[in-house]
Amino acid sequence: MKHLMKIAVMALIAGAVCTFAPQTSFAQLSKKLEKKLSKERDNEYKKKIKEYKKEGWKLAGSSRSIEVALLEHYQKIAESEENKEFVGEVSQCKSINVCKNFALSNAQNRYANLASGNVKGRISSLLRADANLPEIEVDKFIAAYENQVKAEVSGVLSESYSIVKDNNGMKEYKTFFIMNEEKAGMARAKALERSLLETKVAIKEADEISKFVQEGFSLE
C-alpha cells in the first residue's frame, strides 16, 4: 500500500514539473522580449529627441519639456494595442491657434481619405451589383462617407503633444494624436450608416460591409 502511495506521489510531482516547466520558460522568454522591446523603444526615443533638437522643433502650448511630452506619448501608445499614433501637420501658418486648427483639419482630412480609399473598391462593386447605380451615384456615396468619417473622427483623435518651429518667417506645426482603433472602427461604422441614409442607397450586404468598415487598416 505504501509502495503504491509512493508511486502516486511521484507521479503527481512529475505531472507538476511537466505542467509548470513550460510556463517558467515562457515567462523567461517574455521577460527577454520585453527587455528587448524596452531597449528598442529607448533607442527610438533618444533618436527622436535628437532629431527634434537638430531640426529646431520646440514643444507648443505646454510648460512641459519636449522630452517629457514624448515619453508620455510613448506610454499612451503602450497602454493598449488599439492605440495608434496619427499626425496632423501644416507647413505655413502664422499663429499657434491657427496652426493648431489647421493641423487638426489636416489629420481629419487625411484620415477620411485613407478610410474612404480603404473601402471604395469593395463598396463600389456592391453598390453596382445591388442597385445598378451609375458611376456618379457611387461617387456621391463615397464622398458622403468620406465627409461623415471626417466629422466622426474628430471625436476619436486625442491630442498627445504638438511641436512647432520657425519656417522663413512663418511657422511649421505638427500635432501627434492618439487614436484608439476600436473606437475609430465604431466611428467609421456610424459614418457608413449616416451615408446610407443621406444618399438613400440600400446595400443587401450592409451588415457585412459594416463589419469590413470597422476593421483596422494601415494609417500610412
Name the band, by pLDDT with cuts 50, 70 and 90, for residue 13: very low
Q: What per-residue string of b and e applies to 198-213 under the rule 16 or more CB within 10 Å gives b? A: ebebebeeeeebbebb
pLDDT of residue 132: 65
State the pLDDT at residue 16: 39
| pLDDT exceeds cutoff 70 at 7 | no
Is 197's pLDDT higher than 80? yes
Question: How many CB atoms are closer than 10 A to CB 57?
Answer: 19
Q: What is the pLDDT of residues 115-137, one digit of tens each?
A: 888 877 777 777 766 656 777 87
- Cα(78)–Cα(212) distance, rounded to whole angstroms? 26
C-beta separation of 108 from 157 below 8 A: yes
Q: Which cell is 202 given?
A: 440600400
pLDDT given at position 11: 45
The domain locations on the chain are: 34-214
Q: What is the pLDDT of residues 133-183, one digit of tens each?
A: 777 877 888 889 899 999 888 889 999 999 999 988 899 999 999 999 999
Vertex 80 angle, CA 78 and 86, to 5°: 75
Question: Reading across the β-sheet that carries 157-167, which strands appear in turn?
Answer: 58-59, 157-167, 170-180, 83-93
